[in-house]
Amino acid sequence: MKALVWQGKNTVKVIECPKPKIIEPRDVILKITGSTVCGSDLHLLHGSVVELEKGDILGHEFCGVIDQVGSEIKNHKVGDRVVASFQIACGDCMYCHKKLSSQCEKTNSNTIENAMYGGRTAGMFGYSHFTGGFAGGQAEYTRVPYGDVNLLHLPDDVPDEKGLYLSDVVSTSWNCVVDTGVKEGDVVAIWGAGPIGQMCIDFSYMNGAKRVIVIDQNWRLDYCKSKYPNIETIDFSNLPKGETVVSTLKKMEHGGPDIALECVAGEYPKGWAHTIELMTGLETDTSEIINEMIESVKNYGRCGITGVYVGYTNHFNIGSLMERGIRLIGNGQAPVHLYWEKLLKMIQEGKIDPLKMVTHRVRMEDLDKVYYKFDKKEDGMQKVYVET
Ligand code: NAD
Ligand code: ZN
Ligand code: ZN
């Protein structure tokens, strides 16, 4: 079968690989029909996640048709059309019982590095040996461990192109908004207008936000404004002399926003590789965005972090946080299983349309070229649908 594999720093390739087989009784073999590339995949492309090995198959957002089922799979059958969650949960542990699947105790790889990272991240498809070394779904077939819990049926009225994004981006953005606590009348500021930030716009309005302000650079803000005409924007790379993101927000809204959502992180000021150095504990640093969030929100404001951070940090404004009663919330890797049925219904009812963020449709054979284009943001490439 064809699959997209990591070949070394900044090199990925579509090559022939062996078709996966059932290993465990709860495995499902999925014939992939659609997948996508996530902002998080670029950290892998750059070789910034150290536990990658040459030949690892990438991809953590995918859907498909069931090709084979293990002997203990009772709720799915061959031919069913399904979407996979980006994390691999066992369904049985303490966290899985609460549907907090991103914290699954059984699939957590529990390496020393993972312990420094936080030690509580469930296995993930196509995301290096750091998250369990599971092969990903940018391939013609993949093995889905615990297939009874990690696959959701797609009804006839939800095409693959829409259902696919329940895997990650739709569930992640919903988690960001509800976990941070957006409520009726809130003013919400969103850092990062990538696919995650964009879905957070929809969900903020849906949860009652009266005003949404998005912070990014113009090329992304223009796309956002074309899809969400009601939003206001701040171009952080082109502020008037003497102004900052914080001063601009304070001028736009008395006291600042109620809510700050962090949907960036991959663009950490010194680069993702630097955050790996931080894991050693030898250096400390803080993304400026975290300080911007703490300093700009109203007193008792809430700041949610969905952009991925690792390791230790320092030099953030703890004084402001304490005195002004700011809630700083790590949203975690989104527990997809907690939300995906509800979100599927929203897609069916037309309340959300994930296609809004999709800019390109490509073929599996061209996936390596997509990585390079997506990395350089060529052709306005933002979210692709990979037809397999
Ligand atoms: P993306 O790279 O497409 O978008 C990030 C955006 O942030 C870019 O448009 C960039 O211009 C902007 N940006 C950079 N520096 C900024 C700054 N100083 N202020 C404001 N904006 C800035 O990424 P994405 O796919 O939208 O994902 C966003 C983040 O969410 C990534 O870190 C990704 O790894 C993470 N993520 C988290 C989860 C989770 O479960 N927690 C799941 C998926 C993705
Ligand atoms: Zn992702
Ligand atoms: Zn579990």
Measured by CA distance, the residue closest to atom 40 of ligand 1 is: 333
pLDDT tens digits for range 1-24: 999 999 999 999 999 999 999 999
Q: Residue 32: its pLDDT value, please?
A: 98
Where exactly are the structural domains of the chain? 2-168+334-387, 179-330
Reduce the DSSP state of residue 361 to 3 states and report it: strand
Q: Which ligand is nearest to the CA of 120?
A: 3
Q: What's the whole-number average pLDDT of the chain?
A: 90
Q: CA-based Rg of the chain, rounded to a whole angstrom?
A: 20
- At 272 the pLDDT is 45
Nearest ligand 1 atom, CA 333: 40
CATH number of 179-330: 3.40.50.720
Q: What is the DSSP string of 3-23?
A: EEEEEETTEEEEEE-PPP---
Atom 39 in ligand 1: which residue has the minimum CA distance? Answer: 333
Total-model pTM: 0.94
pLDDT digits (tens, 9 = 90+) for 27-46: 999 999 999 999 889 888 98
User: Nearest ligand to the C-alpha of residue 171?
Assistant: 1
Kindly report the length of the chain.
388
Report the candidate in 128, 133, 94, 130 with the shortest Cα–Cα distance to residue 110: 130
For residue 86, the ligand closest to its alpha carbon is 2
- Tokens found for residue 174: 């919903």
**Distance from residue 336's CA to the centre of ligand 2 (Å):** 11
Amino acid identity at 33: T
Cα(374) to centroid(ligand 1), Å: 13
With a cut of 90, say whether residue 74 has pLDDT above it. Answer: yes
| pLDDT value, residue 116 | 52
Instruction: Tell me the three state secondary structure of residue 136.
Output: coil
The label of the residue with tokens 């990658």 reads 52
- From the CA of 198, give the closest atom in ligand 1: 26
Name beta bridge partners: 211. 187
Residues contacting ligand 1 via CB (< 6 Å): 38-40, 168, 172, 191-197, 215-217, 220, 236, 263-267, 289, 306-308, 331, 333-334
Q: Which atom of ligand 1 is nearest to the CA of 191?
A: 20
Residues 324, 156: contact at Cβ < 8 Å?
no
Whether domain 2-168+334-387 has CATH 3.90.180.10: the reply is yes
